[in-house]
Copies of this chain bind each other. A is one copy, B any other.
Amino acid sequence: MSAPPVLGLIPDLPDLLVEPQVRAALIEDLGRAGDITGNAVVPADAHLCGVIAARQPGRIAGMAAAAMAFRLVDPAIRFEPLAADGASVKAGDAVARVAGSARAILAAERVALNFLCHLSGVATTTAALVAAARPHGPARIVCTRKTTPGLRLLEKHAVLAGGGANHRFGLDDAMLIKDNHIAIAGGVGVALKRAQAAAGHLVRIEVEVDTLEQLDEALAAGAEAILLDNMDLTTLREAVRRAGGRAITEASGRITLDTVGAVAATGVDLISVGWLTHSAPILDLGLDVTAPR
């Protein structure tokens, strides 16, 4: 295990914000009657020690949700994280130790792993994109609002754990003027003016443009941040040149591990990737029982 994340960039999430999701996932799995297999097959006083281990290399995220799953099923379970969110692991690395009632651990296991594997998958995919982009330019990898329903906070946090950065969290914490807004408003300039008039002084505004003409209109209207949507590399490079540091530039649109380096090389500030959160495969982690007692 290595490469601890930059300090301060991956803060702990307050339990208050995470517990509702973990509780709902446990109730979803326990149903009405709880773990009827464990209750039938495992003696009530059986104890169990185990480690959660990585089956493949990757980046860890979601440790707090996993810990909470065990704790909510049985506060007496001892859960000891061996890797923090943001840590890189190799196949075979243990990322946590767990000990306690065998029935309780087996009842919580799947939910804990469902969080940990999914969120570590997001972190691992983010880390791969970051690694592919970094040699070519300063661009940060950012996520979008294309998140799994109910898991936005946790997925955004997993993106940080992967070395990426967060875009806005929802419709209310920043303005992003998109193609449909522009069409309805009647142009980039009009839309931006309306947004600037309505925005509170701590609300930042970004505008999406499809062409260099729209870009010029956005810059003329004083745009602070500009999303360059689905532009080819040549156009992107020209857009960055025209922005000239006056506005943050963000490239978007079907960017892959193969193309992210070339996009970064255009000099854009940000590269946003929807599939980071909506289509990242899990990181495979599993519970290995080390000592049933």
Give CA–CA (A113, B103) in the complex, Å: 29
| A248 contacts across to B, CB distance below 8 A | 201
A36 within 8 A of B: yes
Nearest-neighbour CB distance to chain B for A196, whole angstroms, equals 9
With an 8 A cutoff between CB atoms, is A2 at the interface? no
Q: Which residues from 1 to 24 on chain A have a C-beta closer than 8 Å to any C-beta of chain B?
A: 7-9, 11-14, 16-17, 21-24
In the complex the two chains form, is A173's CB within 8 Å of B151's CB? Answer: no
Q: Is A220 an interface residue (CB 8 A)?
A: no
Q: A150-B151, A171-B37, A199-B40 are in contact. Are A183 and B16 (CB under 8 A)?
A: no
Contact at A21–B114, with CB atoms within 8 Å?
no
Name the residue on B nearest A25 (C-beta).
B149
Contacts of A140 in B (CB 8 A): 201
User: Is the pair B41, A7 in contact by a Cβ cutoff of 8 Å?
Assistant: no
Choose one: B22, B29, B40; the contact of A175 (CB below 8 Å): B40
Does A262 sit within 8 A of B, measured CB to CB? no
Q: Given the interface contacts A149-B25, A202-B173, does A184 sit within 8 Å of B46 by beta carbon?
A: yes
Query: Which one of A104-112, A130-138, A210-218, A234-242 contacts B?
Result: A104-112
Q: Do B28 and A152 touch across chains, with their CB atoms under 8 A apart?
A: yes
Main secondary structure of the interface of A (DSSP, over half): mixed
Q: Is A93 in contact with chain B by the CB < 8 A criterion?
A: no
A231: chain B residues within 8 A (beta carbon): none
Please tell me which one of the listed residues B48, B103, B172, B206 contacts residue A36 in the complex, with CB atoms under 8 A apart. B172
Whether B279 and A32, one on each chain, are in contact in the complex, defined by CB atoms closer than 8 angstroms, is no
Closest to A289 in B: B180
User: Residues of B contacting A37 with CB < 8 Å?
Assistant: 171, 175-178, 181, 195
Contact B16 A72 (CB under 8 A): yes
Query: How many chain-A residues does the 8 Å CB contact rule pick out?
Result: 106
Contact with B along A28-53 (1 / 0, CB 8 A): 11111111111111111010100000
Whether B32 lies near A152 (C-beta < 8 A) is: yes
When the two chains form the complex, which single residue of B110, B145, B153, B282 contacts A145, counting CB atoms closer than 8 Å? B110
Among A41, A191, A282, A292, chain B packs the most CB atoms within 10 A around the CB of A41
Interface centre among A31, A35, A42, A102 (most CB of B within 10 A): A31
A146 interface contact, C-beta 8 A: yes
Is there a chain B Cβ closer than 8 Å to A230's Cβ?
no
**B282–A275 touching, CB < 8 Å:** yes
| A-B contacts, 17 listed (Cβ < 8 Å) | A9-B198, A17-B30, A21-B149, A28-B153, A29-B145, A38-B171, A38-B181, A48-B180, A102-B180, A118-B149, A140-B201, A150-B151, A167-B202, A174-B202, A180-B292, A202-B225, A203-B204
Q: Which 8 A-B pairs have the closest CB atoms?
A: A40-B198, A31-B172, A174-B202, A25-B149, A11-B39, A279-B281, A33-B172, A173-B173
